[in-house]
Structure 1
Amino acid sequence: MTSTPVLRMPFTLPNGTVVPNRLAKAALSESLAGPGLSPGEEIKTLYRRWAANGQGLTITGNVMVDRRALGEPGNVVVEDDRHADDLREWADIVTGGGSVGLVQINHPGRQSPRTLSAHPVAPSAIAVPGVAGSFATTARIVAQAGFHGVQIHGAHGYLVSQFLSPLSNQRTDQWGGTPENRRRFLLELVAAIREAIGPDKVLAVKLNSADFQRGGFDEDESLEVVHALAAAGIDLLEVSGGTYSSAAMLGVSDSVKESTRKREAYFLDYALRVRAELPGLPLMLTGGFRTAEAMEDAVASGGIDLVGLGRPLAVAPDSPASLLDGSLDEVVTQPRRAGVKLLDGLTELTYYTVQMWRMAVGKEPAPNRHQLVNVAAYTLRHGLDAIRLPLRGR
């Protein structure tokens, strides 16, 4: 067994919020909204399963800021106070075990299936002030409900990363063209949300190290964005990478080398670049971590502050506590591939989603079920149209 004293150390964010230890549940899209796209009973049951598992930080799956723009079937939406009671109960569940609780807030932009959003919009069609106001409203509501703060989803091909990308942002006004203009939207969100939630709540950002597309958003430009975010006073940066058409965050992209997979932390080299240039900016790294030794080394080296665990908590929900007390050396997750490149992203996503659905109805994960059984279960719940987006790449 492995001793993990560094992982058990608390960490204080710039706004004064203390994270009890260095393990974090990263955002996973649960697809479990209740009636009216509320945080209903299933999502509450799922988070009860995770609430006492030991992680110091818990980030919800992406909560949409506009019910007319959903990224996946079953997204929770918070755009007004209609679900205030459910939100308060969800916040109590998430934070009840001592974890700091953040809500990841998001808008899909063009990365939305037609069956969910009749008119998906790219950055060129967005009225920036209105969308920034929607993000701020959602942030204010969830903070008032009892969450410790929010995380802006600025990665994986959703609206914020669409603004950042020279491939998807074709605007020629102050919101597009130059790198400075392309990142203006994200900085406007940060400013609007900070005003809405105040200085005592956590404001975090999830950002791609790169989108791994030719001519797209690269590491050098990403570092420029990070400098601007640090100057704007964010409390935490989570590093990820890729889009659903180049899924580096899932480890299925050709851009992720085999040597990087074996090292576990997919984006550690980029995180080290950030740390070298901005040593005071709190960093969370998600993607690939499986062994206590790798997690311990990444934190002990000073390269990062928090270890993000996503998919491992879908199949091994008790693993944070076991990693922290030294009774677990490794979280075993086997890639769920169909053997056909076109289908690999689909089988990977549906496999972990279905494990969360099982916990949401009081069952334990079933990690050894065949991947096609999980695809069938996903299709049964959300219909054939729900699988078209992962198949063609989001």
Structure 2
Amino acid sequence: MKASNESVLTQPLQLPCGVVLKNRIAKSAMSDSLGNGRGAPTDAQIRLYERWAEGGVALSIIGEVQGTPHYAEKPGNLVLNAHSEPEVFKALARAGSINNTQLWLQLGHAGALADAPFSNPKGPSALDLPGLKCGALSVSEIQALPEEFARTAVLAKQFGFGGVEIHAAHGFLLSQFLSPLFNKRTDAYGGRLENRMRLMLEIIDNVRHAVGPDFPVGIKLNATDQLEGGLRQDEALAVVDALDSTGIDLIDISGGTYFPGAPSSSDRSGSGPYFLDFAERARAKTDKPLMVTGGFKTLQQVKAAIKEGKADLVGLARALVVDPGLPKKWKMGGTPEPQFPRFDNPPEGGVTAWYTMQITQFANGETALSSSDLSDAIIAYEERDQQRRGIWRKHFGG
């Protein structure tokens, strides 16, 4: 669906459930890593999402919120279940929803990528690879997941969040099930694509039934794993086709994985959005609104994607880390472009560490980092995670 020429960024977008997003810019999910190590939001995290809401985004998504503490991606993840403290989650929901902003929780399960120092990683199949070792989930463990996701979604609704996004991208659990490279099962959850997407569709059905027809439910999907033998674009298009008949309100298209040594979409060079070509092909498979995340660096790129009908909503991540007020500036008619840092030969994971610590800086109202702070940022990032792993083990056991 092409947006009109006039006010292309500020046009509202109505989702199938009836909820209206005030404009076409979203803060896509990132691991802000600001949980307290016990699965709860911190004051800094509350300020962070309040600042993004003040900056003018229509939708803001909190990355990797876990239903249990057993398969978290990082010790800064949030855990939302019956043991969580309602008031601090409600405070986060209130702060991130000001300025008519939709604040959603991304429902996650890291599976094989669960942080091994404080968990027991399990995926669709057992793996023993350099830097990655995990067991296989049993059928009963798999069959318990739809209800687990649904319980978390219900709590999100009860605590005041605007919606949820199911994470089926970036190499985490549902992405692992979709990928023939990591899903070697021979039962009803493996083999042909129909089986590999079974768990994802069961989770969608359970979540939608639990939250009712009027609460937004999105999904994040890989256009490609960017790995030889992984999910291919033609298979991803078939997944989009299957999603068209579900209760999903928004398909958030991204790509790549966080498997050790795998290329990261967000760290690669290039001046343009990464997945618009796939989104254009996906448009023929679904009438669901499409959000495209990855590689948007300029106002012109964002406007073109929406104007040409390739995306209904554009997801920004690192652009909103370096300038959280960017949407408001664009709306006011200025054309400032975010100034991204440049790094010379950063180590694997180093750029992610820098951006994560930059998030911490502006959440705390502190001075922005420079690219020369990369080494210090990596050290601070690793030290903080190590400290919170100890807190996590003490609090949750294991």
Answer whether TM exceeds 0.5 for this pair.
Answer: yes
2:26 maps to 24
- Correspondence 1:243-258 to 2 at 5 A: 243-245=257-259, 246-252=262-268
Moved segments of 4+, more than 6 Å = none
- Correspondence 1:8-157 to 2 at 5 A: 8-34=10-36, 36-80=38-82, 82-117=84-119, 119-124=120-125, 125-126=136-137, 127-157=141-171
1:380 maps to 383
1:180 maps to 194
1:390 maps to none
Q: CA deviation at 1:364?
A: 4.2
Matched residue type, 1:249:
S
Cα pair distance change 1:336/1:112, threshold 3 Å: farther
Of residues 223, 226, 236, the one that matches 1:222 is 236
2:173 maps to 159
Q: CA deviation at 1:4?
A: 7.6
Cα pair distance change 1:141/1:221, threshold 3 Å: same
In structure 1, C-alpha distance between the alignment counterparts of 2:161 and 2:354, rounded to whole Å? 29
CA contact (8 A) 2:105 2:163 kept: yes
2:355 maps to 352
Q: CA deviation at 1:81?
A: 5.0
Matched residue type, 1:75:
N
Cα pair distance change 1:81/1:112, threshold 3 Å: closer
2:319 maps to 312
Q: CA deviation at 1:368?
A: 4.0
CA contact (8 A) 1:238 1:286 kept: yes
Pairwise CA RMSD: 1.8
SS of the aligned residue for 2:284 comes to helix
CA contact (8 A) 2:59 2:102 kept: yes
Cα pair distance change 1:334/1:232, threshold 3 Å: same
Deviations 1:14-47 (A, max 9, x none): 1111000001000110111126211122211211
In structure 2, C-alpha distance between the alignment counterparts of 1:307 and 1:220, rounded to whole Å? 22
Q: CA deviation at 1:335?
A: 4.3
CA contact (8 A) 2:37 2:388 kept: no
Of residues 293, 298, 310, the one that matches 1:303 is 310
Identity %: 37
1:392 maps to none
In structure 1, C-alpha distance between the alignment counterparts of 2:6 and 2:175, rounded to whole Å? 35
CA contact (8 A) 2:197 2:239 kept: yes
Count of matched residue positions in the alignment of Structure 1 and Structure 2:
370
SS of the aligned residue for 1:24 comes to strand
In structure 2, C-alpha distance between the alignment counterparts of 1:111 and 1:232, rounded to whole Å? 27
Deviations 1:346-373 (A, max 9, x none): 1110011001111232324324442112
Matched residue type, 1:92:
R
Matched residue type, 2:189:
W
In structure 2, C-alpha distance between the alignment counterparts of 1:335 and 1:180, rounded to whole Å? 43
Matched, 1:332 2:339: yes
Q: CA deviation at 1:48?
A: 2.0
- Correspondence 1:189-208 to 2 at 5 A: 189-208=203-222
Cα pair distance change 1:385/1:145, threshold 3 Å: closer
CA contact (8 A) 1:210 1:219 kept: yes
SS of the aligned residue for 1:61 comes to strand
2:254 maps to 240
In structure 2, C-alpha distance between the alignment counterparts of 1:35 and 1:123, rounded to whole Å? 27
Of residues 293, 298, 317, the one that matches 1:286 is 293
Matched residue type, 1:250:
S
CA contact (8 A) 2:50 2:98 kept: no
Q: CA deviation at 1:100?
A: 1.2
**47-56 or 301-310: bigger deviation:** 47-56
Cα pair distance change 1:10/1:156, threshold 3 Å: same
Cα pair distance change 1:136/1:322, threshold 3 Å: same
2:131 maps to none
CA contact (8 A) 1:4 1:325 kept: no
Matched, 1:268 2:285: no
Cα pair distance change 1:370/1:364, threshold 3 Å: closer
